[in-house]
Structure 1
């Protein structure tokens, strides 16, 4: 079995963790990928033409787009961000096609976690940023649309929305990363932000704000 294109971790991975009140919450990992960047699995004796024509199962992201597009009167869905969607909806990964459906009452307790993206992957990084800002999106193009204008990239859309006018996004990135990264890796991330984001306005202040985590070792 072989794979081509960018590898994505499978949707619907769950883990359990303890919360207050002895209540267990489930954590669902949510896919993130650019349009057309999906995994294709094939055997070595499959013909390339058959492989390229093979239909792909919906990811949690594309299924989210489809649910929003097919259910325009679901006001709750229209107001829900992608990372929060699994709080009130369930992803049926074993169904064909894969779909999101409203969660039955009494079966809550799921928190969504979108896979982390390196700032070096500029477009996917800004796609993730928009998914945490724009609820009810119906397509990749919908995410690139702001005030009626369709932008050529997710980074351009984020800039038009004013998300890159200060260093709040980069500070949030370092704060999130500090929960799981060692100081050395965190310093590498800090350098990546300076080298690849192109939008850090005050590197010295960003360092001061996070120096306790950056210099722990």
Structure 2
């Protein structure tokens, strides 16, 4: 994972987050010093390079926000003192050129797929300004989400049925099409799934998330609420019957994921 940054006078530089395999982790400052070096060129040996580095690559603490004013030379025009001052972001020539050429600003590997979390019929709906209420309601696509189609795949797709996996594991094997609102088989690229976070005060939505994190291959909301052949009326009841509220399993899973992926889901 990396991101490109610029200072007001500076050249582009990158911030990297690199996760090493077990056995290669750097645990002491001395270990970092062996592979990371940050020093200025000698001003006597390479004076020209020293001037370039100190001019373009060293900056004092600050930010890229500026305030500027717009004046009207016509003294007869009344000036609005509020609108006169503008607040904007300062973009250096280097950053402007970087963006004009559409160079990459950041990248993350593996890709993280954010999985939607919503109760039945409570998903977000996008629509055009010129659409009527009837057109929106009668559009079957608004009822299709990553979650509802995950349930459907566990009903009709043999591979999904045989895999019998959790919702967060689904993007490792299938890819979501936001245009057609369907899951299809993944052919390349590693992707990590993460269900959006949810606070316990959100009630049923929080308990739905707990169930999705622990129940494999659910086929519907009702299936998630079913335990030992009985369908409970709320997700909270279902989580209680599964023992998810009487232990620290969710905390243990979170910390276990930190160890394995170093990318916690909550």
TM bin (shorter chain): 0.5 to 0.7
Aligned mates of 1:47, 1:34 — CA distance in 2: 25
Q: 1:42 to 1:24 in 2, by over 3 A?
A: closer
After superposition, the C-alpha distances for 1:104-153 in whole angstroms (9 at most, x for unaligned) are 2xx24210011001111110000000001011111111111111000001
Distance 1:84 1:36 in 2: 23
Supply the distance in 1 between the matched residues of 2:249 and 2:132 (Cα, whole angstroms): 49
Corresponding residue for residue 109 of structure 2? 24
**What is the CA distance between 1:77 and its match in structure 2?**
3.0
Asked if 2 retains the 8 angstrom alpha-carbon contact of 1:68 and 1:77, the reply is: no
One of 118, 126, 129 as aligned partner of 2:207 = 126
- Tell me the TM-score normalized by structure 2: 0.51
Q: Does 1:63 align with 2:149?
A: yes
In 1, are the aligned partners of 2:153 and 2:160 still within 8 Å (CA)? no
Q: 1:171 to 1:92 in 2, by over 3 A?
A: same
Does residue 109 (structure 1) correspond to residue 190 (structure 2)? The answer is yes
1:54 aligns with 2:135: no
Residue in structure 2 matched with residue 137 of structure 1 by the alignment: 218
2:126 matched residue in structure 1: 41
Secondary structure, counterpart of 2:176 in structure 1? strand
Distance 2:191 2:128 in 1: 35
1:100 to 183, 195, 207: 183
> Residues 75 and 158 of structure 1: is their aligned pair in 2 closer, same or farther, counting only changes over 3 Å?
same
Which deviates more, 120-129 or 66-75? Answer: 66-75
More helix by share: 1
Highest CA radius of gyration, 1 or 2? 2
Rate the CA distance shift 1:20–1:108 in 2: closer, same or farther, 3 A.
farther
CA distance in 2, matches of 1:72, 1:153: 29
Q: Which runs of 5+ in 2 are unaligned?
A: 1-16, 22-107
Scaled by the length of structure 1, the TM-score of the pair is: 0.62
Kept in 2, the 8 Å contact 1:77–1:85? The answer is: no
Residue in 1 that maps onto 2:237? 156
Structure 1 contact 18–24 (Cα < 8 Å) conserved: no
Match of 1:86 in 2: 171
Give the drift of 1:91: 1.3
Unaligned segments of structure 1, at least 5 residues: 1-16, 181-217
**Post-superposition shift, 1:68?**
0.8
CA contact (8 A) 1:144 1:151 kept: yes
- C-alpha RMSD of matched pairs (Å): 3.1
